[in-house]
Every structure is written in structure tokens, then in C-alpha cells.
Amino acid sequence: MKSYDGYSYIEGGVCAAKGFMANGLNCGLNPDKNKNDLCLVKSDALCSCAAVYTKNKVKGAPILVTKENLRKTNNHARAVIANSKNANTCNADGIEKAQMMCDLAANELKISPDEVIVASTGVIGQVLPIEPVKNSIGELAKGLSHSGNLLAANAIMTTDTVKKEVAVEFYIGNTVCHIGGMAKGSGMIHPNMATTLNFITSDVCISSDMIQKALSKITRITYNCLSIDGDTSTNDMVCILANGMSKNPEIASENDDYRVFEKGLYIVMSELTKMLAKDGEGATKLLECTVSSAPSEDIAITVGKSVIRSPLFKCAMFGEDANWGRILCAIGYAEADFDINRVDVALRSYNGTVDVCKNGAGVDFSEEIAAKILSADEIYIDISLNQGMAHGTAWGCDLTYDYVKINGDYRS
């Protein structure tokens, strides 16, 4: 079992925490019967819940319904129902359909519809047929199990090529606790809240105020630092449910227990962020840009995001071309205050490291060695501003021919 500073990675995704079950199936929204398109996650106990949503002015109907449900329950929930293939966005009957999904799930689970989180992903502007959901909800609920995480993770995939889930086990005092999550996303991803659909579960006992504080903070330095193509989706959502079944003393303030929980949440969300970046539409390389010695964390993050979202830089990485001028260009137009003449840049992978820029100017390096470094499938861009002690990291992927192919016929 791989460990990280007291946190052990475990199997189970959204079912890793005590008291959570999940399931997924093909209800008919996706004509490919081999692909799941509807999932359900359920907790045995009422959960403290927190969420963050897209900042796009156009918001999917499921987001509006979810926000209202959490308002009614004072940020508590018991279940999540989500579908792929259809975003249920920009439709006159969208809210009605999203509410019907909550009602259908609640009826099967014998809970209040207000305790259901609803989410959708897929094509925007197409009416969501509710009949497939209605016809399959009984089977979906009946099939809930403590090992149904993979079925659920597969059900939220759209152009994703792999499922994305991670979970960790750790201790709060003498109590064994867990946090697990699943995510979907491959395109229409840009840091502006979070990205895609992300569902996280935990058995930690924590108040809704503290879980919202942790989620908002960790979102800022994980999902908000991710960019695939510069497009902010209409349906982006990250939600976390914690049912308290680990029986630790409730976390109601920013004490040592809170910090243990927050670190576990960071591990889960940062791992999911990297998975999302690596599976960008058409991607062949994961790009990770770390900015160190910055005047502030905000400046470090701003610079890192500026580099990661540069189309020219992303193309250069696809071509395995150490065109470091594109990196300096992206650093230079970042909306942050620093001295560009003190900036150092290096490119790194498991094939080695090459310095390409010192004090804002190019240095001699071997193009052959640089090409070998960039031939790896994970590339690290190390930027030192040499103007402070803060640091930040952003994630993305290269820009390839296949990205255009995928998005040229996305609706088909």
C-alpha cells in the first residue's frame, strides 16, 4: 500500500469511506450499451455537505437545483445522482428535469428529495429525456453496493479515456478515517471555480462550515490551477459529503484535527487534478508547472496558470520542442507584479533536467538532450521568480491534432 506522510492510498474511490455505496449503469442516454451513463452514490447517514460551482454565467439546471437543495437542508445531503451524455443546460424544462431526477432517486432511497445532489454532463442545449432515468432508477438503486465505485466512476465519463478515482486512509487521533473521490473531465476545462464533475466522500465527522472552508481552500490550489483548453464549462461542480461514521470528535474549528482532514482532502483533490490533466482531450503529455521563490502564492499561481494555458507553449510540448521563449512570453503577460529579469526556467522529466533560461535570458543548452527530456509523457516546468518564498503549481496537457478531431464532431 503506497503511503504519503501518514496517509495511505487505498482502493474504493467514493466507496472507500464507511457507509457509502454506489452504482452505475447504462440507462439509454448513451446509445453505446457498453458505456454507463447514470450513477448513484448514497450514504447510510446524513452528511455534512459542501460544494463549489462554475463561475460561468450560463449554469446547468442541475447546479441550480443542487444549490437550492443545499440551502433548504442547511448544507446536508444523503445521495448524489448524476448522468453523462446530456448536460441538461439551456433547456426550458431543465430545472423540472433535474428536480425529477432528485425525486426519482429520493423515492427509491426513501429520503427527502432535498437531500439529493444532482449533476449532469455532456452536450449543452439538448433536451434531457427523463424516461430512461425513470425506467432505470429502480435497478440503479437496487444495485447499490460498497464495491460499486468503478461502475459509478465510469458512468460520469464523456470523452474521458480512463476512469478517475483516488482514496486515502489516515488517522485523526486514534480514529481511522477515509476520504475518497471520483472525477470526470477531458475537455472544456479551465480554472474558474473547479472543473468538470467531482464527487468526494468521507467518513470524518466535520461540521458543514468547516468542510466548506476546506473545500474552498483546496479547490483554489488544485482544480482552479488546471487548464486543458481555456473553456469553463457550464456544469462544473465539486461536492463533498462527510457522514461522520468514523466517530471521531466533530471538527468544528480550525484545530489540529481540521488540518489533518484538510491535508487528506488536498491529497485526494490534487491527485484527481493530475488525472484530469493527463487525460485532456487528445493529450499525450501531462504538464506540471511549479513556480517557486515568488512574492506571494497568488503571484505564483497566476504565473503557473498563464504558462499552462498558453496554446503556443502547449503545442511546443506536443512537438517536443524546447521553445522556452513561449514560456517567457506566457510568464510576461501574466497579470502579476514581479521582475521578469530575475526569472529562471528549467524543463524536467524522468529523462533529466535542462536549464533554458537564467535571469530572464536564454542560456546555452543541448537541443538533443532537451528533446529527449520532452519525449517523456510527464513534463515538469520549473520556474523560479527569485523574488520571495511563496510557491504554486498548475497542471495541464499538450495541445494535439486529436483535440481538434474530438471537438470537431463532439455531438455525434
How far from the centroid of its chain's Cα atoms is residue 192's Cα? 12
CB 241 within 8 A of CB 215: no
Among the listed residues 110, 125, 134, the one whose alpha carbon sits nearest the alpha carbon of residue 29: 134
Among the listed residues 116, 75, 273, the one whose alpha carbon sits nearest the alpha carbon of residue 181: 273
User: Rounded to the nearest 10 degrees, how much is the dihedral formed by the CA atoms of 8, 13, 14, 19?
Assistant: -60
390-397 β-sheet, strand order: 361-362, 352-358, 344-349, 378-384, 286-294, 390-397
Residue 341's φ and ψ, nearest 5 degrees, are -80, 0
Q: Burial-class residue 142 by CB neighbours within 10 Å (0-12, 13-18, 19+).
A: exposed
Cell of 70: 443545499
Question: H or E stretch including 94?
Answer: helix 94-109
Name the H helices within 110-167: 131-142, 149-155
Rounded to an integer, what distance in angstroms lies between the CA atom of residue 91 and that of residue 176?
Answer: 45
Rounded to an integer, what distance in angstroms lies between the CA atom of residue 168 and that of residue 202?
Answer: 10
Rounded to an integer, what distance in angstroms lies between the CA atom of residue 307 and that of residue 302?
Answer: 9
CB 139 within 8 A of CB 25: yes
Residue 167's φ and ψ, nearest 5 degrees, are -150, 150
Catalytic annotation, residues: 195
SS3 content of the chain, % helix, strand, coil (to 5): 35, 30, 35
Cell of 5: 506522510
Rounded to an integer, what distance in angstroms lies between the CA atom of residue 242 and that of residue 390?
Answer: 31
Count Cβ neighbours within 10 Å for each residue of 292-307 and write b for 16 or more, e otherwise. Answer: bbbbbbebbbbbbbbb
